[in-house]
Amino acid sequence: MAIDVLVVDDQPLLRMAFTMVLGAQDDMTAAGEADSGEEAVRLTELLRPDVVLMDVRMPGMDGIEATRLIVERCPETRVLILTTFDLDEYAFAGLRAGASGFLLKNALPAELLAAIRSVAAGDAVVAPRITRRLLETFAHRIPEQGPVTDEDPRLAQLTERERGVLVELAQGRSNAEVAARLHLSEATIKTHVSRILTKLGLRDRVQAVVFAYESRLIKPL
């Protein structure tokens, strides 16, 4: 079945370009276009697209608030953040708001299409190196929440092995890298990641990384 994609950007030429790229694919459909956060939320609720390509800097309601509302109201829809700079604080805010991916606007068409397919399939789209850079740059913005002994109660649901895997993920490592460091198979790591997400009620590994920092399982560099 075709992947329905809603394109959100306040620049008409960019919307047109994204729509043309999508229209050339056999497995994708441009479900609609929105030029503001408000319109993005309204159309998502109306059209229920599989993926929303979300710009972050727009007048009125920005892409961050729109992402939060979409994730809250339409949890089956995935949001892929589009931004101009690879260390844009808006991108990290978007991930914290529930976005499943992060991509630069100057990405090649093939990269954009691959990201859309990955997000639609339920995977997160943030390369480990970018995850690491985002966290190094913006994790210090996460507020301190009392003494270290005030551990998030959800962590108690994890086994020691799962906590160890989560720590590795939070440092921006891929499944293969985690598997090598913990001397386990990549398939086993994937199973642990799936269980971690289920136990913590999180959507994907990006949200797991953010949770690890916000719960203070590990501290920002």
- Sequence-ordered alpha helix ranges (H) in 52-174: 63-73, 89-96, 109-120, 128-138, 160-170
117 and 185 belong to one structural domain: no
Residues contacting residue 203 through CB under 8 Å, at least 6 positions apart: 71, 75, 98, 100, 197
Q: Residues 55, 36: contact at Cβ < 8 Å?
A: no
Q: What is the pLDDT of residue 147?
A: 42
Backbone angles phi, psi at 38, to 5 degrees: -60, -45
> Rounded to whole angstroms, how far apart are CA atoms 107 and 84?
10
Q: What is the pLDDT of residue 50?
A: 96
Q: What is the pLDDT of residue 148?
A: 44
- CATH number of domain containing 204: 1.10.10.10
For residue 206, pLDDT beyond 70: yes
Q: What is the DSSP letter of 97?
A: T
> Rounded to whole angstroms, how far apart are CA atoms 39 and 7?
11
Per DSSP (E only), the strands in the chain are 3-8, 28-34, 51-55, 78-83, 101-104
For residue 171, pLDDT beyond 80: no
Domain that holds residue 16: 3-126
- CATH number of domain containing 61: 3.40.50.2300
Say what the pTM is: 0.70
Q: Is residue 219 part of a domain?
A: no
Residue 57: HSE in the Cβ half-sphere, 13 Å Cα cutoff: 9
Q: What pLDDT digit, counting tens, does each position of 53-111 carry?
A: 999 888 899 999 999 999 999 989 999 988 876 555 676 777 778 888 888 888 889 98
Residues of the chain with pLDDT > 90, as a percent, come to 47
175 and 205 belong to one structural domain: yes
User: 3-class SS at 64?
Assistant: helix
Q: What is the DSSP letter of 108?
A: -
Q: Residues 19, 104: contact at Cβ < 8 Å?
A: no
122 and 199 belong to one structural domain: no
> Rounded to whole angstroms, how far apart are CA atoms 188 and 34?
41
Q: Which amino acid is at 140?
A: H
117 and 155 belong to one structural domain: no
